[in-house]
């Protein structure tokens, strides 16, 4: 206890090898702990980031802006293959892909095609947001329910679609 304030220290093992979801999970845990505590401020420094929280200051500190905390893996929507076939990322050879990383999408945005027996089945985003990762490549044979891409939903992406 320092000047009537509780001073607690806890060690966390983070390194440059720590994966994204572990960091996000830690930050969320720290935020929840801070919200439920009587502490007025918190300082957290790791090898990967520095976080300062101040209760009741009314001013937003740039390093604690929630929009800058990337969503966890579990918050992302997976776009999966609706059938077995060949994934097509573009309408025809030589054209621009339907979508690329960081592209905004609507629920019905076409993100690819699955070709099976000379029939093309459209694949849509399934939610509003932005493309986070593209896992399948153009011309790749994909299995039923194979992950083709991930979408960060609009409410988590911090960007307008």
User: Could you report the per-residue pLDDT of 120-156, keeping only the tens digit for each?
Assistant: 999 999 889 999 999 999 999 999 999 999 999 876 5
Report the pLDDT value the prediction gives residue 36, as an integer from 0 to 100: 77
Sheet order of strands, 85-88 included:
119-124, 110-116, 85-88, 141-142
pLDDT band for position 20 (50/70/90)? Answer: low
CA 126 to chain centre: 16
Write down the pLDDT at residue 13.
55
Question: What structural domains and CATH numbers belong to the chain?
Answer: 1-70 (no CATH), 74-157 (2.40.50.100)
- Token digits for 111? 């993100």
- DSSP H helical ranges for the chain: 20-35, 154-157
pLDDT bucket at 19, cuts 50 / 70 / 90: low
pLDDT attached to residue 84: 94
Mean pLDDT of the chain: 76
What does the pLDDT average to over 14-39? 69
> Is the CB of residue 124 less than 8 Å from the CB of residue 77?
no
Average pLDDT over residues 98-110: 93
Burial zone of 81 (CB within 10 Å; 0-12 exposed, 13-18 middle, 19+ buried) = buried
User: How much is the pTM?
Assistant: 0.53
Is the Cβ–Cβ distance between 20 and 75 less than 8 Å?
no
């Amino acid at each position: 206890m320092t000047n009537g304030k509780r001073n607690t220290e806890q060690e966390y093992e983070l390194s440059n090898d720590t994966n994204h979801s572990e960091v996000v999970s830690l930050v969320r845990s720290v935020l929840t702990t801070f919200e439920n505590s009587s502490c007025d401020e918190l300082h957290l420094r790791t090898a990967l980031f520095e976080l300062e929280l101040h209760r009741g200051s009314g001013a937003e500190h740039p390093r604690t802006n929630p929009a800058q905390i990337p969503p966890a893996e579990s918050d992302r929507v997976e776009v999966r293959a609706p059938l077995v076939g060949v994934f097509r990322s573009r309408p025809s050879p030589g054209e621009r892909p339907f979508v690329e990383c960081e592209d905004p999408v609507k629920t019905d945005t076409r993100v690819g095609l699955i070709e099976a027996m000379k029939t093309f089945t459209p694949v849509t985003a399934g939610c509003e947001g932005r493309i986070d990762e593209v896992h399948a490549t153009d011309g790749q044979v994909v299995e039923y329910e194979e992950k083709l891409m991930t979408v960060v939903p609009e409410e988590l992406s911090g960007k307008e679609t």
